[in-house]
Amino acid sequence: MTPSPADDREDISFEDFVEFSRKADELATFELINGRLIVKYGPRDVENFEELAELAPKGVKLEFINGKLKVKPLPDQLHKAMVMWLLRVCMQQRPELAFYPEQELRVETYRKGRAIADGALAPVDHFVASPRPELWGDPKGVLMVVEVTSRDRDTHRRDRIEKRDGYAASEIPVHLLIDRDADSLVVFSEPRNGFYQERAAYPFGATVPLPGPVDITLETEKLKEYAR
């Protein structure tokens, strides 16, 4: 697979890295390698994670998944195009709902995880109606979460396993994975006992029915244009 040109983008400048490292001194330790922020040591509880996340400079997005600190990769232009394509389709077919890109969510058992979904489908104003809308959003009431795989070494465990299981544990009815390595869409549904019971895979170009409560049909021929 040819790397995306965006693989050379920097997560953070050296100056911001030095300042962030200073502020985060007792919470986490990072390295800066070729402009990419790498976690050496991170907090083991969600309260310290949220404190750390508030210190992160603009452009750096942190997640806390399966008890581990993660740096969410910067999306390249093809990644963004897929998310925006899906946003348009969802809004056309379900205008009473909203599609929230890069939505912060409290996930996993007892809401002990913190994930930034590439997209979340929920009622309009669902998150601002929360009693504390400034915090990570409650997944209750979210109809679907979406992840688009990234071109980085951690995408398999993060996007295909850990976040999927976190969404299932949160009982989000539908999880859509757009897998750029396999040129496919995978639909997970029927969460029960911390796992999705149903899984259906479709190649780019197929007609993809998203089950209830989403009830949207995706004509995915457009995704072939982004498959490179």
Structure confidence by residue, pLDDT tens digits, 21-46: 888 888 888 888 877 788 888 888 89
Give the structural domain span for 12: 5-72
Q: Classify 39 in phi/psi space as left (phi over 0), alpha (psi -120 to 50) or beta.
A: beta
Q: Are residues 67 and 83 in the same domain?
A: no
Q: What CATH number should be reported for the domain holding residue 187?
A: 3.90.1570.10
Domain end residue (candidates: 30, 49, 72): 72
Domain end residue (candidates: 72, 95, 110): 72
Q: Are residues 121 and 27 in the same domain?
A: no
Digit-by-digit pLDDT tens for the chain (228 residues) are 333 444 445 678 888 889 888 888 888 888 888 777 888 888 888 999 999 998 888 888 999 998 899 888 888 999 999 999 999 999 999 999 999 999 999 999 888 999 999 999 999 999 886 656 567 999 999 999 999 998 777 778 888 999 999 999 999 999 999 999 999 999 999 999 999 999 999 999 999 999 999 999 999 999 999 987
**What is the per-residue pLDDT for 155?**
78
Domain end residue (candidates: 46, 72, 98): 72
The answer to whether the beta carbons of residues 83 and 101 sit under 8 Å apart is yes
Q: Are residues 59 and 92 in the same domain?
A: no
Q: Are residues 130 and 162 in the same domain?
A: yes
pTM given for the model:
0.88
**What is the per-residue pLDDT for 82?**
97
Number of structural domains the chain divides into: 2
**SS3 of 18, please?**
helix
Q: Are residues 67 and 84 in the same domain?
A: no
pLDDT tens per residue, range 47-87: 999 999 988 888 889 999 988 998 888 889 999 999 999 99
**What is the per-residue pLDDT for 152?**
75
Q: Are residues 123 and 209 in the same domain?
A: yes
**What is the per-residue pLDDT for 3?**
39
Instruction: Using alpha carbons only, give the angle 126, 131, 132 rounded to the nearest 5 degrees.
Output: 95
Measured CA distances, 53 to 12, 41, 103, 114, 153 (Å): 15, 14, 14, 10, 22
Both tokens of 54, joined, read 């508030």
**What is the per-residue pLDDT for 7?**
46
* Closest listed residue to residue 78, CA positions, set 3, 156, 154: 3
**What is the per-residue pLDDT for 133?**
56
